[in-house]
């Protein structure tokens, strides 16, 4: 039983170690030298070249290394009938919850303003707003979005979520569909984007939608760069419509050196690190799914390619 | 029934509003013009001038506006026999939990390093460490410390606390006394100071204790400035023994413009705002205690002046 792995070299080691402990009968093959294609039953990949997966005739499942699967869905030559599995693993979820809660608290507590004051050596209190008066809105209530929502509720924020279909989560106000979007945005002082990237969600954050937020709202971009019309976001930041932003994802990554995001005083830029799959915990999720497939069951967390996530 | 209030002018209004709703029979008198001293039965104060409280002969309780009471304990002419009451109110606790969790996550997720990278327009991932491998240590497990410990546990951090006497809190390793301090420091990757300021704790964070932390540890200073020997902290930051710090409190406040803290690349400076008493929620705690006193009961949260907190 062989799995072909496409990841960066440093992380390869941790996957090898983790699988050796969990599933010693699994042979790990390197993407660049996978050996006989017909040996390969599983693929664990991030952003494979288009058409490359079609070369393995006996694939039983394709596992995405990250939470998003847009890097796979964009391949017109995916091998037909092979299930694509999103990454759902506790390390990835925990990392996203840490990053989103930290960033929400950062904007909630005016840390961008305090950073300016520090640079100017100004000692001035900004009046604290209790979380129960602060409304956080999460675009996308999937595994990551709902985990973030739960933790933000624990801090007493007013939390709402927007998704394609209505969702039911304790303490979280649910908005859905195109009709619910404006009402959702109007009540979101801090907006978090955790949507999947699909034809429907590309460019969803633009002049019109950003303009529907309360004046001075904060924006935390942790979905995909293509959710955002970047020039519209810059205009909204420059006008003060958006008061501050934490940006983890961009249309072009690495973010080019001439991007105005780098030096904008109201933007925190991080290099797509909001959450990383942790091989140690993720290998367990993959191993479990491999065992399911070997036992004739379908893997968990299969992607619906028609809806795009 | 009259209460004398010493706070800044902007906040005075919110106290007036809150007490009017909760305890309309309470007359609020301004510190600068309190009227007949014998009318005053209660004082709600921050940092009164030494000896000033002794001028009210009929005081039944002195309420501190902030969590600390060192601003009162340092008065050699406190009216004898009048209970001093620390501020325990949900708004203050929530604010501290927000600030400490945000700051712990900030250092945990290498945000100081990412800020440097942003300034230099460098796109580089730093390997994420799961919270279950990160050890947070909280100096002081009082109302604020234990609330912070609980929330940090929720994120999966390894949390320990140090206090004068052993404490029992689910999920929190307890260290105590001078003997336990070194062992506690040695295992704390992120150190939070939430101690009361007493003769025993003044200067507790010095070259020796900071040197006992793991190399590169983060330090979150939200107790009092006098807990810290500031030159020792600077040396520890310059040598890399302390990897980063968030400082909310200082020996001299406002922090003087010539302090090297302002421009140190490994320090986040905020102007003593980690948590503020929220008049709206705090007035309820004070009103409840006033009712207890009027009913002949002792107020809750009385300070033991012998131990100093």
Q: Could you give the 3-state DSSP secondary structure of residue B19?
A: helix
Q: Name the average pLDDT for chain B.
A: 96
The 10s digit of each residue's pLDDT in B262-297 is 999 999 999 999 999 989 899 999 999 999 999 999
User: Is A83 a domain residue?
Assistant: yes
Report the distance separating Cα B285 and Cα B300, nearest Å: 9
CA distances from B106 to A219, B32, B240 (A): 18, 42, 18
- Residue B55 sits in the same domain as residue B21: yes
pLDDT category of residue B35 using cuts at 50, 70 and 90: very high
Tell me: do B125 and B265 sit in the same domain.
yes
- Quick one: A135 and A191 in the same domain? yes
The answer to whether the CB atoms of A151 and B154 lie below 8 A apart is yes
Regarding whether A222 and A136 lie in a shared domain, the answer is yes
- Cβ-defined contact of B130 to A156 (cutoff 8 Å): no
Is the separation of the CB atoms in A208 and A178 below 8 Å?
no
Residue A243: the pLDDT is 98
Q: Which SS3 state, helix, strand or coil, does residue B145 take? A: helix
Residues A112 and A217 in one domain: yes
B83 and B146 part of one domain: no
Q: What is the pLDDT of residues B119-155, one digit of tens each?
A: 999 999 999 999 999 999 999 999 999 999 999 999 9
Asked whether the beta carbons of residue B114 and residue A270 sit closer than 8 angstroms, the reply is yes
pLDDT at B12: 85
Residue A284 belongs to some domain of the structure: yes
Pairwise CA distance, residues A160 & A152, whole Å? 10
B265 neighbourhood in chain A, CB within 8 Å: none
pLDDT tens track for B36-84: 999 999 999 999 999 999 999 999 999 999 988 999 999 999 999 999 9
Are B284 and B292 within 8 A, CB to CB? no
How distant, in Å, are the alpha carbons of A56, A119, A233, A308, B81 from that of A238?
50, 20, 9, 33, 58
pLDDT at A10 over 90: no
Confidence of residue A309 (pLDDT cuts 50, 70, 90): confident
Q: Do B142 and B75 sit in the same domain of this protein? A: no
- Mean pLDDT to the nearest integer, A79-90: 95
Residues 68-97 of chain B whose Cβ lies under 8 A from any Cβ of chain A: 91, 94-95, 97
Mean of the pLDDT values across residues A271-298? 95
Residue B309 lies in a domain: no
Q: Which residues of B touch A101 (CB under 8 A)?
A: 101-102, 105
CA B297 – CA B290 distance, rounded (Å): 9
3-state class (DSSP) for residue B97 = helix
Residue A97 resides in a domain = yes
- Preferred mutation among B10, B157, B273, B281 to probe A, highest tally of A CBs within 10 A: B273
Q: Is residue A309 one of the residues assigned to a domain?
A: no
The per-residue pLDDT for range A145-174, each reduced to its tens digit, is 999 999 999 999 999 999 999 999 999 999
Residues A241 and A101 in one domain: yes
Residue A9 scores a pLDDT above 80: no
Q: Does position B240 have pLDDT exceeding 80, yes or no?
A: yes
Q: What is the pTM of this model?
A: 0.95
B255 and B124 in one domain?
Answer: yes
Residues of A taking part in catalysis: 224, 272
A:19-48 residues touching chain B, CB 8 A cutoff:
none
Residue B114 and residue B12 in one domain: no
Residue A302 β-bridge partners: A85
Calculate what percentage of chain A has a pLDDT beyond 90.
94
Distance CA A258, CA A261 (A): 9
The domain of A253 spans: 91-269
What are the pLDDT digits (tens) for A167-206?
Answer: 999 999 999 999 999 999 999 999 999 999 999 999 999 9
Q: Are residues A241 and A103 in the same domain?
A: yes
Give this complex's ipTM: 0.94
Question: Within 10 Å of residue A160's Cβ, how many Cβ atoms?
Answer: 22
Q: What is the pLDDT of residue B308?
A: 85
- Least CA distance to B102: which residue of chain A? A102
Q: Domain check: are A135 and A56 in the same one?
A: no
pLDDT attached to residue B124? 97
Say whether B98 and A111 touch across the interface (CB within 8 A). Answer: no
Above 90 in pLDDT, residue B11? Answer: no
Flag if B114 and A253 touch (Cβ within 8 Å): no
Residue A305 lies in a domain: no
Please count the structural domains in chain A.
2
Res B280: pLDDT:
87
Closest CA to B217 of B195, B246, B254: B246
**Within a domain: residue A154?**
yes
Q: Is residue B110 part of a domain?
A: yes
Q: What order of strands is seen across the sheet that includes strand B158-163?
A: B172-176, B158-163, B135-139, B190-193, B217-221, B242-247, B267-269
CATH number of the domain bearing residue A83? 3.40.50.720
């Amino acid at each position: 039983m062989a799995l072909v792995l496409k990841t960066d070299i440093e992380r390869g080691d941790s996957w090898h170690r983790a699988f050796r402990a969990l599933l010693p009968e699994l042979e790990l093959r390197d993407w660049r030298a996978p050996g006989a294609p017909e040996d390969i039953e599983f693929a664990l990949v991030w952003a494979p070249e288009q058409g490359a997966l079609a070369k393995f005739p006996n694939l039983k499942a394709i596992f995405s290394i990250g939470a998003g699967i847009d890097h796979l869905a964009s391949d017109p030559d995916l091998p037909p009938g092979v299930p694509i599995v999103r990454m759902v693993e506790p390390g990835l979820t925990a990392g996203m919850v840490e990053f989103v809660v930290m960033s929400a608290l950062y904007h909630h507590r005016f840390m961008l303003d305090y950073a300016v004051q520090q640079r100017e050596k100004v000692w001035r209190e900004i009046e604290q707003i209790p979380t129960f008066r602060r409304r956080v809105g999460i675009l996308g209530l999937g595994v990551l979005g709902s985990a973030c929502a739960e933790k933000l509720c624990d801090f007493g924020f007013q939390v709402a979520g927007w998704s394609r279909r209505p969702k039911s989560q304790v303490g979280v106000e649910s908005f859905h569909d195109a009709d619910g979007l404006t009402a959702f945005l109007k009540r979101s002082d801090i907006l978090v984007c955790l949507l999947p990237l699909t034809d429907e969600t590309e460019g969803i954050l633009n002049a019109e939608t950003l303009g529907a937020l309360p004046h001075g709202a904060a924006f935390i971009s942790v979905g995909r760069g293509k959710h955002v019309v970047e020039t519209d976001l810059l205009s909204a930041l420059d006008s003060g419509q958006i008061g501050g932003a934490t940006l983890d994802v961009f249309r072009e990554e690495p973010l080019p050196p001439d991007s105005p995001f780098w030096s904008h005083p109201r933007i925190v830029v991080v290099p797509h690190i909001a959450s990383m799959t942790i091989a140690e915990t993720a290998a367990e999720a993959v191993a479990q799914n491999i065992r399911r497939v070997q036992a004739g069951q379908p893997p968990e967390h299969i992607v619906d390619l028609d809806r795009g996530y």
